[in-house]
Amino acid sequence: MPISVAGGFLIDQLYQLWRSIIPSRLHILFLLCVLAVSFLSAIYGAQQLIPILNPATILTHESDLKVIAWIDQNIPNDELILINPFAWGYGIFAGADGGGWIPALAGNPTIPPPVLYGLGEREQIEYINQISRDVINLGDSPEELWKYLSSLQIKYIYIGSRGGIISPGSLASNSHFRVIHCSDNTWVYQLLP
């Protein structure tokens, strides 16, 4: 950050210097040249950054967005939806797939919620973290997962195309879970009583 601020200050000072040197009738032309150079620099910088993006960090796919649109139309906004958690870092958890976009795009709360929950009250953070740790521990045991989620009144599970600790195959083979929507390897399950 300090280098960026210093760089911006240097560019501003050079701009002010050139502006004082260039005749006023050429100021518009000079400004257009500065904008063109800035635009070309931004394009060049973006081309350098795109190849370094790790495909493993892209959590949302087209199928996730389609299913989130379905959730928006078919699941009431006050229903809490479990998404596959993983340890994000800094003592918080995040969604391992496109389910992290459910609160923003469909309006439903999720466990874990967007990582900004880490800025909340300590008790709430620990509550969400405990649920996320428990889900990770129970993810490969559908019967125990069902008991745990039922005790929390969580009725829906979202499993995105990227997957996670909770496997759609293990839930499908258990009589306590029902597929209510599936599209391109993205699933929404409902817990049955």
pLDDT of residue 59: 66
pLDDT of residue 1: 77
Q: Does the pLDDT value for residue 50 go beyond 80?
A: no
The residue whose two tokens read 């839930």 is 171
Between β-strands 110-111 and 85-89, what pairing exists: parallel, antiparallel or unpaired?
unpaired
Torsional class of 90: left (φ above 0), alpha (ψ -120 to 50), beta (otherwise): left
For residue 53, how far is the Cα from the chain centroid? Answer: 15
pLDDT in tens, 104-149: 999 999 999 998 899 999 999 999 999 999 999 998 899 999 999 9
pLDDT in tens, 21-48: 888 888 888 888 888 988 998 898 888 8
The whole-number pLDDT of residue 2 equals: 84
Strand partners, 179: 189
Query: Do the beta carbons of residue 82 and residue 119 sit within 8 Å?
Result: no
* pLDDT, tens digit, 9 for 90 and up, residues 75-102: 999 999 999 999 988 889 998 888 889 9
Given a contact cutoff of 8 angstroms between Cβ atoms, the answer to whether 106 and 68 are in contact is: yes
Which pair of structure tokens corresponds to residue 10? 């240097």
Is the per-residue pLDDT at 53 higher than 70? no
Judged by phi (left if over 0) then psi (alpha if -120 to 50, else beta), residue 179 lies in beta
With 0.95 as the threshold, say if the pTM is over it. Answer: no
Q: Is the pLDDT reported for residue 56 higher than 60?
A: no
Q: What is the pLDDT of residue 186?
A: 93
